[in-house]
Amino acid sequence: MNTITEPPQTKPASRPESRACSKPGLLRRYLQIRGLSKKLCETLEPEDCVIQTMPETSPTKWHLAHTSWFFEAFVLKPFSPDYQPLHPQYGFLFNSYYNAVGPFYSRPHRGLLSRPTVKEVFHYRADIDLLISDLIESADERLREKLDPIITLGLHHEQQHQELMLTDIKSVFWQNPLRPAFRPRDRQQPQPVPAINWLRFKEGVFWVGHEGPGFSYDNEGPRHRVFVQACELASRLVTNADFLAFMEDGGYRRPELWLSLGWNTLKERGWEAPLYWEKRDEKWHTMTLAGMAELVPEEPVCHVSLFEADAYARWAGARLPTEEEWETAASGLPLEGNFVEREVFHVAPLASPASAGKPAQMFGDVWEWTRSSYSPYPGYSPVAGALGEYNGKFMCNQYVLRGGSCATSQSHIRRTYRNFFPPDARWQFTGIRLAKDLV
């Protein structure tokens, strides 16, 4: 039986919504999203929640506390009269990187914090939820108009950390020789995946970036025009079978396929396959959130770095798409796919091929690497105050990914969403879609 329990409750940077949410609607959404964080912990033990496997990850306990601190720092302190922090030291422990708010604990050492305990963190969450709920319910219309954009940002921030909770606990379980399962899942026999069909897109001037009502992060704007060359995009994602062919052709041993920094990284870290792949009895297996499983050739390849994605694309006689090519190709496609709401927590094989010249699996399953460096759009300026540190300060040495993954909430993703990671990152559900120039 799960021993992590939440006690009963007792009595950043974004562009704002065009209209304030209703009081019941905002509170309902707040409790729903905060509740998912708790639900994701139902099969975890306290020991699972305190481990940090590498500097880029965080313990589950830290995610739970940090997302609560966010609401305390950016909602309760500014908007609740005479508010006093529940635990003054938590600001130092659970601030992530907001220099304008104050100093913070070393990120690579979060796994060294045995206190506060997991139980105490859940108490902290319950207290914050009660205070936020009271604030929403008591707010008049003027105050609610101020609260809505900040609370909405906090909820999207929480959804980002829910995804990190899944990817980080997968890393924790991978380090354990027992290879524990986060959640069991049913495995179905996949259908054969058709060969890649190359879909043509005409050149032209297109609008990209977010505009209009609804939430977006500041890095998704301003909306602006770009000239996109004629190109071809693959009708589907690269599969494990596709990537195995690259490996069997010496892909990890051929420096001519790799960027120089990528080749150096490969040699330093001993990469021979995507992260979580392991060969047993001459067969490839992979770690999943349901434990170790034999590799399914039809599934999209995931947990590859930009370096690996770029090398594969070069081997295949193609390249990675730009983020502008990806966004224009996704125009008009429904925001549907294998998201966290399905509770599969793993990539899924292609269920139906692309139709009417539209690429398949553009949303969900894996974040798709692009060749675009993460940089500001023309006319970009971060929002004022500490929340301006949310995105803008990371616009250096990172690459853009698009589309969301099986660990992403469907209500969190947009066609204009710009995720970003350094080119050597592999612990996220990152995959490959190919592109080609039209000459």
CB atoms within 10 A of CB 119: 15
Which residue ranges form the domains of the chain, and what is each CATH number? Answer: 14-175 (1.20.120.450), 198-437 (3.90.1580.10)
**Structure confidence by residue, pLDDT tens digits, 52-91:** 999 999 999 999 999 999 999 999 999 998 899 999 999 9
Q: What average pLDDT score do residues 105-131 get?
A: 97
The answer on pLDDT for 388 being more than 90 is no
- Residue 400, beta-bridge partner list: 420
What is d(CA 420, CA 417) in angstroms, rounded to the nearest whole number?
A: 10
Q: What is the pLDDT of residue 389?
A: 64
Which uninterrupted H or E stretch holds 92? helix 90-94
* Structure tokens, 347: 């990539």
What length is written for the chain? Answer: 439
Spell out the residues 6+ positions from residue 76 whose beta carbon is closer than 8 angstroms to its own: 83, 128, 131, 132, 135
Q: Where are the beta strands (DSSP E) in 136-295?
A: 198-201, 204-208, 216-217, 224-228, 231-234, 277-280, 283-288, 291-294
174-218 pLDDT, tens digit each: 999 999 999 998 888 888 999 999 999 999 999 999 988 899 999
pLDDT surpasses 90 at 19: no
Asked whether the predicted pLDDT for residue 14 surpasses 80, the reply is: no
> Helix 141-175 vs helix 118-138: angle between axes, to the nearest 10 degrees?
160
Query: Distance between alpha carbon 165 and the CA centroid of its chain, in Å?
Result: 10
Q: What is the pLDDT of residues 403-419, one digit of tens each?
A: 999 999 999 999 999 99
The answer to whether 129 and 31 have CB atoms below 8 angstroms apart is yes
Amino acid at site 336: E
pLDDT in tens, 216-249: 999 999 999 999 999 999 999 999 999 999 999 9
419 three-state secondary structure: strand
Are 49 and 160 in contact, with CB atoms under 8 Å apart? no
Q: Check if the beta carbon of residue 220 is closer than 8 Å to that of residue 210.
A: yes
Note whether 198 and 232 are within 8 A (CB): yes
Pairing mode of beta strands 367-373, 430-431: parallel
pTM value > 0.95: no
Say what the pLDDT of residue 426 is: 98
Report the half-sphere exposure of 421 (CA within 13 A, side-chain side): 23
HEC string for 259-289:
CHHHHHHHHHHCCCCCCCEEEECCEEEEEEE
Percent of the chain with pLDDT over 90: 85
Mean pLDDT of the chain: 92
Residue 169 above 80 pLDDT? yes
- Reported confidence tier of residue 392, pLDDT bands at 50, 70, 90: confident
The predicted pLDDT at position 352 comes to: 79
Please determine, for residue 6, whether its predicted confidence score (pLDDT) is greater than 50.
no
Tokens at residue 173, please? 């379980």
* Confidence grade of residue 126 (pLDDT, cut at 50, 70, 90): very high
The answer to whether 232 touches 435, Cβ cutoff 8 Å, is yes
Residues 327-376 have pLDDT tens digits of 999 998 999 999 999 999 999 999 877 677 899 999 999 999 999 999 99
Confidence bin at 137 (pLDDT 50/70/90)? very high
Those residues with Cβ within 8 angstroms of residue 176's Cβ, 6 or more apart along the chain or in another chain: none
